[in-house]
């Protein structure tokens, strides 16, 4: 059962301090902890020079810059080794492109998710060394790869690690599954993780650039992996501009922006600047590959939003590694050929369609099994099939968690090995890391954060997983609050929507620590109900109050999807977000009817 609680509005002293802004903006800024006019101005108008901090405040960054400049002088061969998700791929393309532009010979290496897994690996390093490469630079990985960094050193290569994940000391860190959409790695704990850290054990690299180092003096620790790579570029240009004019590095924010908007990092401070300017560059549509991808998805470049990046672009980039090869997505972002871009975009779109088909098939299989079982009293779903692809199970688990209101654990197998890999999702009421810790003797490895994680199990112990998880989960759920209370930013009248969407544009882009505002529209008449789409799986509600009419949209929904069935002619409170359609007109994205 869901209930909605409307947040308090700004008190009078805050309204006075924020007098230049509308009452709506005053409330939204207050709810985000912004109570002074100067802080509001900084938040609403990100500034490149003000918000982009000195890269040399990052530990080891100057050392890394000097090493790269030496590589340019001595004409060394360099490898950029990046992760296979929508943080690592754009970040790797960004760094590889830049290093080539200053004269280096660069190989961009992206490990295969299924055959190699996350991070550095011995076979890949052997291949890189055989190419005569003497310097490896990681993007979005490496901070927990001490053994593999040492192996690279033994092959005569030096390693510069650029990463943004925390280094765990002891505990469980082995898992290659992404912990959440956007790319948080399950083996690397995030803020709020219950694990404690005695000290950070850095890998034996030539340089380790990471804003989460304990000896860090950098004023912002929320950068994504591509953001850290971009700071390395900034540092190089601060020492040697090469052929770059002042400020030319801003054009690289398209790739850093994609990653920042995709990787579950806080959209405050420097990240807000990167995301805002990144969207500006992306709307210029300068990359043939990106232009072709937008064309394939029928997205107008000048209206591109953070939702388009998060829900349309990122899934296609991630689909490359889940279903095929991550190099496909990297080539798309890097290509300068319009013809190649069109072909790659078509391939990527086709792979994403295949991914959606596989996800739908697994979801259907799980739902059929559930219908045959008596699991009404169980708080958890634990299922698997050796034929399921582990790379898509996080998406399936998230969908099932939302549909059934239960914790979900799913497993499958890559290739013919004896290790099963899986993903788990929770609504956050139960910490899946704590749950997995309680059955850690069954698991070969696990990790994650509160609401999402990854795990692995040896084949001969997979039969123990469901009963153990169910037993522990029932104990953890006992006494837990059943009712889900959701915070709503404000009540809003339909008549206010036309003005509100202009105010909300100043608050964008939205994401972590700047969630898209949620409103309750009181006592609205549902004047019409229409399903649409090829599969009639989307819903449009015609909403009216006091002579004001506006469209309400709910994708992948039916009139029965809400707490009250949406019926033509009824009066109801509508819960939803204010957004603009492709024509620029305001509408409501319907979340619930209550």
Mean pLDDT of 71-100: 97
The residues, ordered by sequence, that sit 6+ positions from 18 with a Cβ below 8 Å of its Cβ are: 10, 25, 26, 29, 30, 35, 36, 37, 40
Which SS3 state, helix, strand or coil, does residue 29 take? helix
Q: State the pLDDT at residue 375.
A: 75
**Confidence grade of residue 167 (pLDDT, cut at 50, 70, 90):** low
Q: State the pLDDT at residue 171.
A: 38
Backbone phi and psi for residue 461, each to the nearest 5 degrees, phi listed first: -120, 5
- Asked if pLDDT for residue 189 goes beyond 60, the answer is no
**Confidence grade of residue 176 (pLDDT, cut at 50, 70, 90):** very low
Q: State the pLDDT at residue 118.
A: 86
For residues 555 and 586, the answer to whether their CB atoms sit within 8 Å is no
Q: State the pLDDT at residue 177.
A: 38
- More confidently predicted of 501 and 93: 93
Q: State the pLDDT at residue 427.
A: 84
Whole-angstrom distance, CA of residue 358 vs CA of residue 360:
5
**Confidence grade of residue 525 (pLDDT, cut at 50, 70, 90):** very high
For residues 184 and 449, the answer to whether their CB atoms sit within 8 Å is yes
**Confidence grade of residue 174 (pLDDT, cut at 50, 70, 90):** very low
Q: Domain spanning 486-593: which superfamily?
A: Nucleic acid-binding proteins (2.40.50.140)
Mean pLDDT of 136-152: 96
- Return the DSSP state at 516: P
Q: What's the pLDDT tens digit per position in 555-588?
A: 989 999 999 999 999 999 999 999 988 788 899 9
Mean pLDDT of 113-134: 94
- Return the DSSP state at 245: P
- The answer to whether the predicted template modeling score (pTM) of the entire model surpasses 0.85 is yes
Q: State the pLDDT at residue 584.
A: 81
Mean pLDDT of 275-293: 97
Whole-angstrom distance, CA of residue 155 vs CA of residue 151:
7
Same fold, 373-482 and 486-593: no
- Asked if pLDDT for residue 441 goes beyond 70, the answer is yes
- Asked if pLDDT for residue 195 goes beyond 60, the answer is no
Largest CA distance in the chain: 76
Q: What's the pLDDT tens digit per position in 331-348?
A: 999 999 999 999 999 999
Q: State the pLDDT at residue 403.
A: 85
Lowest mean pLDDT among 209-223, 370-384, 521-535: 370-384
Q: State the pLDDT at residue 483.
A: 65
Q: State the pLDDT at residue 446.
A: 86
What percent of the chain has a predicted confidence (pLDDT) above 90?
80
**Confidence grade of residue 169 (pLDDT, cut at 50, 70, 90):** low
Class of domain 46-167+204-280: alpha beta
What are the tokens at 351? Answer: 């792979």
On average, the pLDDT of the chain sits at: 91
- Asked if pLDDT for residue 180 goes beyond 60, the answer is no
- In order of 9, 68, 261, the CA distances from 520 in angstroms are 14, 54, 26
Q: What's the pLDDT tens digit per position in 217-268?
A: 999 999 999 999 999 999 999 999 999 999 999 999 999 999 999 988 999 9
Judge if the upstream peptide bond of residue 509 is cis by omega within 30 degrees of 0.
yes
CATH topology of domain 373-482: Diaminopimelate Epimerase; Chain A, domain 1 (3.10.310)
Q: Per mean pLDDT, which of 438-447, 473-482, 487-496 is the most reliable?
A: 487-496
Task: Give burial (CB, 10 Å; 0-12/13-18/19+) of 153.
Answer: middle
- In order of 178, 344, 375, 419, the CA distances from 329 in angstroms are 18, 8, 41, 28
Among residues 467, 425, 419, the alpha carbon closest in space to that of 443 is found at 419
Q: State the pLDDT at residue 451.
A: 85
- Asked if pLDDT for residue 170 goes beyond 70, the answer is no
What residue spans define the domains of the chain? 46-167+204-280, 285-357, 373-482, 486-593
CA dihedral sign, ordered 573, 578, 580, 586: positive
Q: What is the DSSP string of 338-403?
A: HHHHHHHHHHHHHHHHHHHHHHHHHHHHHHHHHHHS--TT-SEEEEE-TTS-HHHHHHHHHHHHHH
Q: Which residue has the tokens 């003797």?
A: 441
């Amino acid at each position: 059962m869901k209930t909605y609680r409307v947040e308090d509005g700004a008190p009078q002293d805050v309204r006075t301090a924020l007098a230049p802004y509308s009452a709506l903006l005053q409330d939204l800024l207050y709810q985000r902890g912004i109570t002074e006019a100067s802080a509001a101005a900084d938040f609403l108008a990100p500034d490149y020079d003000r918000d982009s901090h000195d890269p040399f405040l990052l530990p080891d960054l100057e050392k890394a810059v000097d090493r790269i400049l030496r590589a340019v002088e001595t004409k060394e061969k360099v490898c950029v080794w990046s992760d296979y998700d929508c943080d690592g791929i754009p970040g790797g393309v960004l760094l590889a492109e830049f290093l080539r532009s200053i004269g280096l010979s660069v190989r961009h290496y992206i490990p295969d998710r299924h055959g190699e897994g996350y991070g550095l690996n011995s076979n890949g390093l052997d291949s890189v060394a055989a190419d005569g490469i003497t310097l490896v630079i990681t993007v979005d990985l490496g901070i927990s790869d001490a053994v593999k960094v040492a192996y690279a050193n033994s092959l005569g290569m030096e390693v510069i690690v650029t990463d943004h994940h925390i280094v765990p000391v002891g505990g469980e860190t082995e898992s290659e599954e992404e912990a959440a959409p956007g790319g948080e790695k399950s083996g690397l704990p995030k803020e709020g993780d219950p694990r404690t850290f005695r000290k950070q054990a850095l890998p034996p690299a030539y340089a380790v650039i990471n804003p989460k180092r304990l000896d860090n003096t950098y004023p912002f620790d929320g950068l994504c992996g591509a953001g850290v790579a971009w700071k390395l570029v900034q540092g190089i240009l601060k020492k040697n501009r090469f052929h770059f004019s002042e400020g030319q590095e801003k054009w690289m924010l398209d790739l850093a922006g994609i990653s920042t908007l995709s990787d579950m990092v806080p959209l405050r401070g420097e990240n807000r600047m990167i995301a805002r300017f990144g969207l500006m560059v992306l709307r210029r549509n300068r990359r043939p590959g990106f232009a072709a991808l937008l064309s394939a998805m029928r997205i107008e470049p000048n209206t591109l939003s953070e939702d388009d990046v998060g829900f349309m672009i990122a899934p296609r980039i991630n689909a490359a590694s889940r279903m095929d090869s991550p190099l496909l997505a990297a080539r798309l972002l890097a290509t300068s050929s319009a013809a190649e871009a069109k072909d790659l975009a078509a391939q990527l779109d086709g792979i994403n369609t295949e991914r959606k088909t596989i996800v739908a098939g697994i979801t259907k299989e799980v739902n059929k099994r559930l219908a045959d079982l008596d699991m009404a009293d169980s708080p958890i779903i634990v299922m698997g099939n050796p034929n399921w692809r582990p790379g898509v199970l996080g998406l399936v688990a998230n969908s099932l968690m939302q549909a059934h209101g239960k914790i979900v654990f799913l497993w499958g197998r890559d290739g013919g090995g004896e290790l099963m890999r899986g993903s788990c999702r929770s609504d956050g009421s139960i910490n899946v890391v704590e749950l997995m810790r309680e059955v850690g003797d069954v698991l070969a490895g696990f990790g994650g954060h509160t609401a999402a994680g990854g795990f692995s199990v040896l084949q001969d112990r997979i039969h123990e997983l469901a009963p153990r998880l169910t037993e522990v989960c029932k104990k953890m759920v006992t006494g837990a609050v059943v009712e889900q209370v959701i915070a709503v930013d404000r009540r809003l009248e339909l008549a206010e929507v036309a003005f509100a969407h202009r105010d909300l544009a100043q608050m964008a882009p939205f994401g972590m620590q700047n969630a898209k505002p949620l409103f309750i529209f009181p006592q609205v008449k549902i004047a019409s109900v229409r399903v649409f789409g090829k599969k009639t799986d989307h819903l449009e509600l015609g909403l009216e109050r006091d002579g004001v009419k506006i469209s309400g949209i709910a994708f992948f929904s039916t009139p029965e999807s809400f707490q009250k069935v949406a019926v033509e002619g009824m009066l109801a409170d509508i819960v939803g977000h204010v957004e603009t359609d492709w024509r620029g007109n305001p509408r409501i994205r319907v979340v619930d009817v209550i």
